[in-house]
Amino acid sequence: MAVTEQTSLPTNAYEVLKPGETYPPIIPAAAKVPELTVRSVGWGIGLCIIFTIASAYSGLKVGQVMESAIPISILAIGLARAYGRRSSVLENVIMTGIGGVAGSVVAGAIFTLPALYILKLAPHPLQTVFICLAGGCMGVLFVIPLRRYFVRDMHGLLPYPEATAITEVLVTGERGGSQAKLLLQATAIAGVYDFFVTTFSVWKEFVNFQFVPLVRTLNERARIAFSFDAVGFILGLGYVMGLRSSMILCAGGVLSNFVLVPLIWYVGHHFDFSVYPASIPISHMTALQIYRSYVRFIGVGAIATAGIFGIVKSLRIVANSFVIALRVFKKSDAVAPERTDRDIPMFAIFFGVLASAIGVGVFLGLLSVSWTALAIGLALTLVFSFFFTSVAANAIATTARNPVSGMTMLTIIISSVVLLRFGLSGTTGMFFVMAIAGMVCTALSVSGQAITDFKTGYWIGSTPAAQEKIKFFGVIAAAIAASLTIVMLARGFQFGEAALGDLRPVLPSPQASIMKALVESLMSHQPVAYALFGVGAMIAIMLEMLGQPSLLFALGMYLPLELNTPALVGGVLSHFVNKKSTSAGGEQGRSMRERGVIIASGLMAGGALGGVFGAALRLLPKYREDMIRTPFFANEPISQSVSAILFIGLCVYVWMGATKKEKVI
Q: Can you spell out the DSSP letters for 375-427?
A: HHHHHHHHHHHHHHHHHHHHHHHHHS---HHHHHHHHHHHHHHHHHTTT--HH
Q: Look at residue 389 and tell me whether its pLDDT is greater than 70.
A: yes
Count of CA atoms in the C-beta half-sphere (13 A) of 324: 17
Strands 494-495 and 228-229: unpaired
CA distance 65 to 535: 31
Q: Look at residue 332 and tell me whether its pLDDT is greater than 70.
A: no
pLDDT category at 329 given cuts 50, 70, 90 is: very low
- Evaluate whether residue 18 is within a structural domain: no
Mean pLDDT of 282-286: 91
Mean pLDDT of 1-8: 53
CB burial string 311-323: b at 16+ within 10 A, e below: beebeebbeebee
Phi-psi region of 501 (alpha: psi -120 to 50; beta: other; left: phi over 0): left
- Evaluate whether residue 568 is within a structural domain: yes
Percent of the chain with pLDDT strictly greater than 90 = 29
Mean pLDDT of 225-251: 88
Tell me the range of 387-401, 468-482, 503-517, 592-606 where mean pLDDT is highest.
Answer: 468-482
pLDDT category at 333 given cuts 50, 70, 90 is: very low
Give the tens place of pLDDT for each residue, 401-426. Answer: 777 877 888 888 889 889 988 888 88
pLDDT category at 4 given cuts 50, 70, 90 is: very low
Percent of the chain with pLDDT strictly greater than 70 = 92
Q: Look at residue 58 and tell me whether its pLDDT is greater than 80.
A: no
User: Domains in the chain: how many in total?
Assistant: 1
Question: What is the extent of the structural domain holding 158?
Answer: 38-659
Mean pLDDT of 585-593: 81
Q: Are 455 and 149 a contacting pair, CB within 8 Å?
A: no
| pLDDT number for residue 292 | 85
Count of CA atoms in the C-beta half-sphere (13 A) of 193: 31
Q: Are 554 and 539 a contacting pair, CB within 8 Å?
A: yes
Choose among 65, 57, 112: nearest CA to 489.
57
- Evaluate whether residue 664 is within a structural domain: no
Q: Are 415 and 437 a contacting pair, CB within 8 Å?
A: yes
Q: Look at residue 323 and tell me whether its pLDDT is greater than 50.
A: yes
Between residues 331 and 67, the one the model is more confident about: 67
**How is residue 571 annotated by DSSP?**
H
Give the tens place of pLDDT for each residue, 464-481. Answer: 999 999 999 999 999 999
- Evaluate whether residue 486 is within a structural domain: yes
Give the tens place of pLDDT for each residue, 288-319. Answer: 899 988 998 898 888 888 877 877 776 665 56
Mean pLDDT of 437-455: 92
Q: Look at residue 111 and tell me whether its pLDDT is greater than 90.
A: no
Residue 536 has phi, psi (to 5 degrees) of -60, -40
Choose among 140, 148, 138: nearest CA to 324.
148
| pLDDT number for residue 665 | 42
**Kind plus residue range of the DSSP H or E element containing 206:** strand 206-207
SS3 labels along 260-317: HHHHHHHHHCCCCCECCCCCCEHHHCCHHHHHHHHHHHHHHHHHHHHHHHHHHHHHHH
- Evaluate whether residue 14 is within a structural domain: no
- Evaluate whether residue 31 is within a structural domain: no
The one-letter amino acid code at 90 reads: L
Cβ contacts of residue 425 below 8 Å, gap of 6+? 419, 523, 525
Number of residues that this document lists for the chain: 665
- Evaluate whether residue 33 is within a structural domain: no
CA distance 342 to 323: 14
- Evaluate whether residue 32 is within a structural domain: no
Beta-ladder partners of 228: 207
Q: Are 565 and 253 a contacting pair, CB within 8 Å?
A: yes
Between residues 305 and 320, the one the model is more confident about: 305
